[in-house]
């Protein structure tokens, strides 16, 4: 099998699964219980959070463990907006966010907030001047992704953070789900106030993730009924999930620099070989792109047919983001980049992980070329 849909989800790293099953089996007590078993589990959570804090250069009491990216984005964006409602009602985001941010902002508009959706250039990147121009006295939150999940564009998070240093009344939330363990991210140095990560994108378990909330940032909870996770995510903790997330994060960050050269080489190869194939338009930018994501369209061909043909060869790629891939309508991201309707509805995403090998990419390139040639003949 050649699995190239790692932006949708990754395989579970064996040692992550091992830590999950070991904790689930042996440390099953409720961490809120005051007996010895409970205390042991509570200590386990503390250790995991301390490890995560060290890895990310943050404090352990700035970590809220969640079920993943969608939950983290909802808790942060709604929680910050609700907490600052009296100070202002304006939120800034971009036109290319993942649905867990984009639709949360649409929902907040229904609640009465005003949202500016920043446009992007042809490569999917926002312009810094647009952020500055969008700021008003009413602005309370800027929320932006670090790496785009469809085409891989890297947003200038550090520069936006620098601008927002001058606006202490505006919170800065970053969705770093596609960047963590892949490209550098500095939460504190870049003035990020809150940041979401997801376990299953970094070879961790599904249903695991975390939200960084800078100490002192006021966030109103979405759920009530317990004091766990600073009261922002009440309910009995997913202890095996927390412990295994810490391990997945460590492995991802350990791999980041060692596989970088390989992944960049594979990305370059994909770019050069696929760009020249018949009828192909590459959508990922040639610069300022996560090397883990490569996205292209073949406007004359139905992407589901191409995906099916590759699937018959045991090669797995996807159309756009996992949440939207079953609906064949055009991509909001590609439309925002200026692509016409046909190109925006025929996208194919190839996404790699540290496990991806050069041989796999070579086999994929060959199979894709063959499939496009065959299908183009039928279409003629």
Ligand X SMILES: Cc1ncc(COP(=O)(O)O)c(C=O)c1O
Buried b (16+ CB within 10 A) or exposed e, 307-345: bebbeebebbbbbbbeebbeeeebbbbbbbbebeeebbb
CB nearer to ligand X: pick between 69 and 161: 69
Q: Which is nearer to ligand X, 31 or 209 (CB)?
A: 209
For the CB of residue 290, give the shortest distance to ligand X in the complex, in Å: 11
**Which residue number is nearest to ligand X in terms of Cβ?**
69
As separate numbers, helices (DSSP H) first and strands (DSSP E) second, the chain gives: 11, 12
Residue 105 contacts residue 97 (beta carbons within 8 Å):
yes
SS (H, E, C) 28-43: CCCCCCCCHHHHHHHH
CB of 283 to ligand X, least distance (A): 16
Q: How far is the CB of 150 from ligand X (least distance, A)?
A: 9
Q: Measured from the CB of residue 18, what is the shortest distance to ligand X in angstroms?
A: 22
Active site residue 337: no
Q: Using CB under 6 A as the criterion, which residues of the chain lie in contact with ligand X when the complex forms?
A: 68-70, 98, 100, 145, 149, 175, 177-178, 198, 200, 209, 321-322
Catalytic residue among 105, 195, 289, 323: 323
Nearer Cβ to ligand X, position 140 or 145? 145
Q: CA-to-CA distance for 340 and 149, rounded, in angstroms?
A: 20
Q: Which is nearer to ligand X, 3 or 88 (CB)?
A: 3
Residue with Cβ nearer ligand X (256 or 321)? 321
Q: Are 50 and 246 in contact (CB under 8 A)?
A: no
In 3D space, the residue among 149, 146, 192 whose CA is nearest the CA of residue 173 turns out to be: 192
Residue 230 contacts residue 11 (beta carbons within 8 Å): no
Q: How far is the CB of 88 from ligand X (least distance, A)?
A: 25
For tokens 């695991």, name the residue: 208
* Ordered alpha helix ranges (H), the chain: 14-26, 36-56, 69-83, 99-110, 128-134, 157-164, 239-275, 303-312, 332-336, 341-344, 358-379
Residues taking part in catalysis: 323
């Amino acid at each position: 099998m050649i699995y190239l849909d790692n932006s949708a989800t990754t395989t579970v790293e064996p040692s992550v699964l091992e830590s999950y099953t070991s904790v689930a089996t042996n440390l099953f007590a409720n961490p809120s219980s005051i007996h010895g078993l409970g205390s042991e589990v509570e200590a386990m959570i503390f250790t995991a959070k301390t490890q995560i804090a060290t890895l990310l250069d943050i404090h352990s009491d700035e970590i809220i463990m969640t079920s993943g990216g969608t939950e983290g984005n909802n808790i942060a964006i709604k929680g910050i907006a609700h907490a600052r409602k009296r100070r202002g009602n304006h939120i800034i985001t971009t036109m290319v966010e993942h649905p867990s941010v984009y639709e949360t902002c649409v929902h907040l508009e229904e609640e009465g907030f005003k949202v500016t959706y920043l446009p992007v250039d042809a490569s999917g990147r926002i312009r810094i001047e647009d952020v500055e121009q969008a700021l008003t006295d009413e602005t309370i939150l800027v929320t932006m992704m670090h790496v785009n999940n469809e085409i891989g564009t890297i947003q200038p998070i550090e520069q936006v953070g620098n601008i927002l240093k001058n606006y202490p009344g505006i919170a800065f939330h970053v969705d770093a789900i596609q960047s963590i363990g892949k490209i550098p991210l500095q939460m504190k140095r870049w003035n990020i106030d809150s940041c979401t990560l997801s376990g299953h994108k970094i070879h961790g378990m599904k249903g695991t993730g975390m939200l960084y909330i800078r100490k002192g940032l006021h966030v109103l909870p979405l759920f009530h009924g317990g004091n766990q996770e600073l009261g922002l995510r009440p309910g009995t903790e997913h202890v095996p999930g927390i412990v295994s997330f810490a391990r997945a994060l460590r492995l991802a960050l350990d791999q980041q620099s060692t596989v970088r050269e390989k992944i960049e080489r594979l990305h370059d190869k994909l770019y050069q070989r696929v760009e020249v194939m018949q009828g192909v338009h590459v959508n990922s930018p040639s610069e300022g792109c996560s090397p883990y994501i490569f996205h292209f369209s073949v406007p004359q061909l139905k992407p589901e047919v191409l995906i099916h043909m590759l699937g018959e060869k045991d090669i797995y790629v996807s159309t756009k983001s996992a949440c939207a891939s079953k609906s064949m309508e055009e991509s909001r991201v590609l439309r925002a980049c200026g692509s016409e309707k046909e190109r925006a509805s025929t996208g194919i995403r190839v996404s790699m992980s540290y496990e991806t090998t050069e041989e796999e990419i070579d086999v994929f390139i060959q199979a894709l070329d063959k499939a496009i040639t065959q299908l183009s003949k039928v279409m003629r």
